Structure 1
Amino acid sequence: MTRARSISWAVVGCLASWAAPGCVDTTPRAPPVAANADPRSGITLPREWPPRDTEFINRVASDPPQAPRAPDTPPYCSLPGVRRVDGGRQLFVDDYLVDWARTRNVTRTWGRLRLKTPAVLTPNQGMDASCHQARCKGMRTARPFGGGSLYDPARRRLLLWYRCGWRGGPYHGVPGGRTCVATSRDGLRFERPKLATSFSPAPDRRALRPRSPKVVRPARGTNVVLATAHVEAFEVAYDFLRTPPRFVALRMEYMTGGRRYREYTPYVSADGLAWTNPKGDGWRSPGVLADRSTFFLNPLRRDPVWAFSLRENLCRGGPSRHMRARRLFEAPHAEAPLRRIAMRGGRPLYGAYFQCEPLLEGDAAVPWFAVDRDDCAFEQCDVYNVDGVAYESILVHGLALLHGPAVGGELKNNSAHVGFSRDGFHITRPDDRRPFLDVPEGWWNVQLASGSPIVAGLGSREERLYFYVGYGFGKGGGKSVYKDYEERTALATLRRDGFARLQATNGTATTRPLAFSFVSGPRYLWVNADVKGGLKVRVLSDAGAPLCGRAANITGPADATRRRLLLVSDLAERAIRFEFRLEDAALYAFWVAGPDGKSGGFLAGGALGHGSLVDE
């Protein structure tokens, strides 16, 4: 990152270069936050939540030439009134913040990952290398499939859970359905711990289906944390809203042979190493789920929720003839940690591989996400996975899209993408729909690890986001399973807040009316910006008149992911706008915070060296 050679920031009287006659001394007070609004953003959810899109299936699975594009402008972006900017850096991933009618010569540019290393974790010859079938004895795997990368703030270590070995096939008496863990202090170098403990068997398997696999204890002295007869995905979240915090997981412990789904098994852990089946506390299996169904914690709401991203097969085309889509089911965080997902007439909603049943009025899991015509031509791709994690003031959704012709088995032609949401339902995506990461030739089944990103260098001016990427590598020629195949974990990076930036050679970006809450102590405007020429900022009234004495500037070159600009303490609870004049500069985020610059926002999967999942 370029070091600053000449940087100045100051509170000055109306900058001479921007001297505007008739600057004003005050601006109206902002209206109070509605009682039912989300306190950080001020967004109020409609009475019917989540929304029920009755045209979803017809839109996604329409006849050729291609499906019409799904609505991509969230309703909260067009609502009038004042936006709240309490808690978290404010990112430009949608039109919620920018008043484009008052913005001139500025473009939004989408960021993309850079591959740092293709093999931050590679399979060894021990637990990572076995398959019980003769046709795949050469297969080795060390990738997060679901799995996840989460930072343990209590113990100051990064945990990466990955699928080791293959779905079946014992190794020295340990069943083949294994989940292993690797740990790291810096996010770059991982080690496989030799665990001295093992997990407890399920207290009561009678609550699960009779064919559910038996839970066994893995051998001590390995990095295996869970082992069953079979496993595919292992979904993990860190419940930092609970006291004390703990890791929560759902594990798919069945094979999809016979095209029948079964129940996922829940687990909890204090340290991410020793896992138990939860007893009491209202816990139970969420029920029968399709493979690659996931869940995540949404803390952005006034009342936080567990969100379940549920796979559904629409059976109307798509490259694999399934036409995958996603439904959303939400359960209050304050209730039982995992509730049983909706049933349909007394039987599981997702009991068969080809469900192919229409949405019923009483279904709690509502249609949510699918590909549209901007992703591909009709039937040339569909959605393989949708995850979510809270980053600063938004949700970042890791998306995996499946493209033809390789659509089956392990050699799926997946690409990794991202989306963004403020309410947990409406997802905004980059306009060009390019993959978030360009991958080398020969990579298969590419997916972002759940929990990504991890924040590196928190508090410095060169903060980065670490994304862990699981993929397969080999020469299979499109075959489903074969003898020369490895699954690895790569590391890709992004500038802090680098999902989208406002960029201009000589332009001005103006926000919609904003407000922030009063807290004791001084409050400043902070920015994440790469300034080659100059960046000037003015504070405006809600009507757009400049406020006297409310301006500052940066003279480049100056490139920093956090820079303090302007004292704004006495503008708390006032309706204001920020106006940024960009001269050969890029603006990634702004926020209001104290002298230390801590935003109060969420830190996704955690921040290396930091004792919380909140920037505080």
Structure 2
Amino acid sequence: MKILGIFVALTIFTPFISAQTLHNGITLPQQWPPHYEESTVRHEMPLPYLKNKPLVIPINTGRQLFVDDFLISETNLSPVYHTPKYYEGNPVLEPDKDWEKTVEGALYAAPFSDGIWYDEKYGKYRMWYLAGAGTIHKDERQTFYTCYAESNDGKIWEKVNQDIVPGTNIVDTCNRDAAVIWLDREATDPAKRWKFFNVERRKEDRRWQYVLKYSADGIHWSKGVAQSGDIGDRSTAFYNPFTKKWVLSLRASALASSRSRTYAEHADPEVLVSVAHRTRKDADDKFVKFWFSPDDKELRHEKYPEVEPGIYNFDAIAYESVMLGFYSAWAGPENRVCEKDGIQKRNVISLGYSRDGFHFSRPTHQPFMNVNETEGAWNWGNMQSVAGVPLIVGDSLYFYSSGRRLSKIMWDSHTSTGLATLRRDGFVSMHADKEEGYVLSEKLSFDGKYLFVNADVRKGKLLVEVLDEQGLPIEGFTKKDCIVMKKANSTKELIVWKNRKDLSTLFGKNIRLKFYLSDGDLYSFWISPWLSGASRGYTAGGGPGLDPKGIDIE
């Protein structure tokens, strides 16, 4: 009995912490999130899951994207990094209301992260954005609050008046900086379906803090249910459905740069906000961990080459089988120089990709959404990412961002919202010229039935061969048995073989897939349980016809 009592006491006070294995076979270390020592030398973030891949990669969650080498064993094809096309009707939202001006008269109508989502239950595109608050906070300089707009097509937006401040579309009057309005598709309490992580200025000392609020409709918000300690102004939040954790992306000063990020996570957003605070750059904090600094490949401003680039902000969201990361990459100059020279600071949006939600690869530092430094451009400078994007609209992805014009009123003003579109899964493609090339996957496990690809095959062809664990072609699934995909451009193409219409005879076996491609681009592949091709992946900000749970299911 004494031995049993000692065992029970030990299990109570020193519980065993099991390592979490993710949907893709990656096992997280027991110390999570990881702790990295800061460095004065700029370098890219480590990617442990690429150095030590799982022996077998499960592909049961989402479309499998070629955004890194995680899925690839061998290839002689070349990756191509694509960028979205700006909508010709930009900007889609302009500051045109008196209540969108600051006290100084600067015009603001654009998300500062905030949120743009497609609400499947409501049947609308929905936008929350930062606006100048000069009509309410009349005695304070550069004050902002939160407004709301909605759309039937994602292109034409209406500023719908609400009852918070009658006659306006204002939905929250607290003086703020950045904010994130997150559609919690997993919420069990309808009153908490929308979560509002607002970076508000405390009246007592004018310091910034997170304030968490809830809403059933995204319009009427609760009082703050949790508040943080002091934080940096351009701090945001996101949800990682793969780990079931809420994450805070906090602005920080690190040894390598004053524009760096720290990280905190927790399953309960109220607890998370309550423990958040700005840490010393050399602190080993229990809750808030150093995350990353700008690396040695950041783009410099050709007119201000002396400026050391920084990361102005970082947002993230789950898309299919990966986490997308949006870097607001800052190249300068500082505000005082911008004011003197009459220009906007240069922030462009670049992309990163993560398989574990913490380590992000950046295969290219070239802008994903770039500024347009021509007279009259809505996005001459200071572009900022938006929470919730991309939205999935048919075969396209919708990306939004804020941008700022050159203005004669004051240098840092006239902020509006623009749209850009990209092919679904269209971030990176494996490209083949006229001569046939190949991509051989790592060992894969699956529980689906139908193999689909997203590919653009021009005058060439695409064939898929299924190999066993030893790399030998499986009878009935060889290259010569495959029905050729040729002269076709499809974001969801079913692959079959002459006498095999699906992979059901291979259930329970580990396989490799070998893709043979000429004159074309391969964007993704996946194995679905359904002939419809639903991927079981995450649908980011949602879209028309998609499931309101935020997962691509039949």
Give the TM-score of the pair, scaled to structure 1: 0.77
Distance 1:194 1:561 in 2: 39
1:539 aligns with 2:474: no
Compared with structure 1, are the counterparts of its residues 91 and 407 closer, same or farther at alpha carbon in structure 2 (3 Å cutoff)?
farther
Deviations 1:187-237 (A, max 9, x none): 111111122x33xxxxxxxxxxxxxxxxxxxx2232111113x22212121
- Number of residue equivalences: 504
- Alignment match, 1:215: none
Q: Report the secondary structure of 2:153's partner residue.
A: coil
How far apart are residue 310 of structure 1 and its match?
A: 1.1
Choose which of 208, 212, 222 in structure 2 pairs with 1:266. 212
Distance 2:525 2:404 in 1: 38
> Which range moves more in the overlay, 114-123 or 370-379?
370-379
Unpaired runs of 5+ in structure 1? 1-34, 199-218, 344-348, 458-462
The residue type equivalent to 2:176 in the other structure is V
Deviations 1:441-482 (A, max 9, x none): 15121012111100001xxxxx10000110111246xxxx81
How far apart are residue 498 of structure 1 and its match?
A: 0.8
Compared with structure 1, are the counterparts of its residues 251 and 37 closer, same or farther at alpha carbon in structure 2 (3 Å cutoff)?
closer
In percent, how many aligned pairs have the same letter? 32
Distance 1:109 1:490 in 2: 25
Distance 1:553 1:418 in 2: 35
- Alignment match, 1:210: none
| Mapping for residues 298-313 of structure 1, pairs under 5 Å | 298-301=240-243, 304-313=244-253
> Which range moves more in the overlay, 528-537 or 73-82?
73-82
How far apart are residue 287 of structure 1 and its match?
A: 3.1
Compared with structure 1, are the counterparts of its residues 356 and 92 closer, same or farther at alpha carbon in structure 2 (3 Å cutoff)?
same
Residues 159 and 183 of structure 1 are in contact (CA less than 8 Å); yes or no, is this contact kept in structure 2?
yes
1:288 aligns with 2:230: yes
Distance 1:598 1:605 in 2: 17
1:510 aligns with 2:440: yes
Distance 1:181 1:193 in 2: 7
Distance 1:447 1:493 in 2: 16
| Mapping for residues 84-99 of structure 1, pairs under 5 Å | 84-99=58-73
Distance 2:56 2:426 in 1: 25
How far apart are residue 584 of structure 1 and its match?
A: 0.6
The residue type equivalent to 1:127 in the other structure is W
1:193 aligns with 2:160: yes
The residue type equivalent to 1:251 in the other structure is N
| Mapping for residues 216-235 of structure 1, pairs under 5 Å | 219-228=165-174, 230-235=175-180
Distance 2:545 2:166 in 1: 29
Q: Report the secondary structure of 2:157's partner residue.
A: coil
Distance 1:44 1:483 in 2: 49
- Alignment match, 2:492: 562
Distance 2:483 2:362 in 1: 32
- Alignment match, 1:358: 282
1:79 aligns with 2:5: no
How far apart are residue 93 of structure 1 and its match?
A: 0.8
How far apart are residue 340 of structure 1 and its match?
A: 4.1
- Alignment match, 1:589: 524
| Mapping for residues 363-374 of structure 1, pairs under 5 Å | 363-374=286-297
1:447 aligns with 2:414: no
- Alignment match, 1:242: 187
| Mapping for residues 193-212 of structure 1, pairs under 5 Å | 193-195=160-162, 197-198=163-164
Q: Report the secondary structure of 2:360's partner residue.
A: coil
Compared with structure 1, are the counterparts of its residues 176 and 381 closer, same or farther at alpha carbon in structure 2 (3 Å cutoff)?
closer
How far apart are residue 244 of structure 1 and its match?
A: 4.2
Choose which of 127, 130, 141 in structure 1 pairs with 2:99. 127
| Mapping for residues 381-396 of structure 1, pairs under 5 Å | 381-396=309-324
Higher relative contact order (CA 8 A, sep 6+): 1
1:529 aligns with 2:475: no
Distance 1:46 1:40 in 2: 15
- Alignment match, 1:7: none
- Alignment match, 1:297: 239
1:150 aligns with 2:140: no
The residue type equivalent to 1:112 in the other structure is T
Distance 2:202 2:396 in 1: 38
Q: Report the secondary structure of 1:386's partner residue.
A: strand
Compared with structure 1, are the counterparts of its residues 376 and 610 closer, same or farther at alpha carbon in structure 2 (3 Å cutoff)?
closer
1:402 aligns with 2:348: no
- Alignment match, 1:415: 348
Unpaired runs of 5+ in structure 2? 1-17, 301-305, 375-379, 497-501
Distance 2:269 2:402 in 1: 31
Residues 252 and 281 of structure 2 are in contact (CA less than 8 Å); yes or no, is this contact kept in structure 1?
no
Residues 264 and 272 of structure 2 are in contact (CA less than 8 Å); yes or no, is this contact kept in structure 1?
no
Compared with structure 1, are the counterparts of its residues 608 and 288 closer, same or farther at alpha carbon in structure 2 (3 Å cutoff)?
farther
Choose which of 100, 117, 136 in structure 2 pairs with 1:170. 136
Distance 1:546 1:84 in 2: 20
Distance 2:46 2:81 in 1: 16
- Alignment match, 2:198: 251
Residues 156 and 611 of structure 1 are in contact (CA less than 8 Å); yes or no, is this contact kept in structure 2?
no
Residues 286 and 338 of structure 1 are in contact (CA less than 8 Å); yes or no, is this contact kept in structure 2?
no
Residues 38 and 300 of structure 1 are in contact (CA less than 8 Å); yes or no, is this contact kept in structure 2?
no
How far apart are residue 92 of structure 1 and its match?
A: 0.7
The residue type equivalent to 2:238 in the other structure is F
Distance 2:199 2:124 in 1: 26
How far apart are residue 263 of structure 1 and its match?
A: 2.0
The residue type equivalent to 1:231 in the other structure is R
The residue type equivalent to 1:114 in the other structure is K
Deviations 1:158-181 (A, max 9, x none): 111111224x44399999632111
How far apart are residue 315 of structure 1 and its match?
A: 6.2
- Alignment match, 2:9: none
How far apart are residue 255 of structure 1 and its match?
A: 8.1
Residues 530 and 587 of structure 1 are in contact (CA less than 8 Å); yes or no, is this contact kept in structure 2?
yes
Q: Report the secondary structure of 1:75's partner residue.
A: helix
Residues 23 and 58 of structure 2 are in contact (CA less than 8 Å); yes or no, is this contact kept in structure 1?
yes
Deviations 1:121-144 (A, max 9, x none): 11113322x222xxx32x211110
The residue type equivalent to 2:516 in the other structure is R
How far apart are residue 388 of structure 1 and its match?
A: 0.8
How far apart are residue 407 of structure 1 and its match?
A: 4.6
- Alignment match, 2:148: 181
How far apart are residue 72 of structure 1 and its match?
A: 4.4
1:500 aligns with 2:441: no
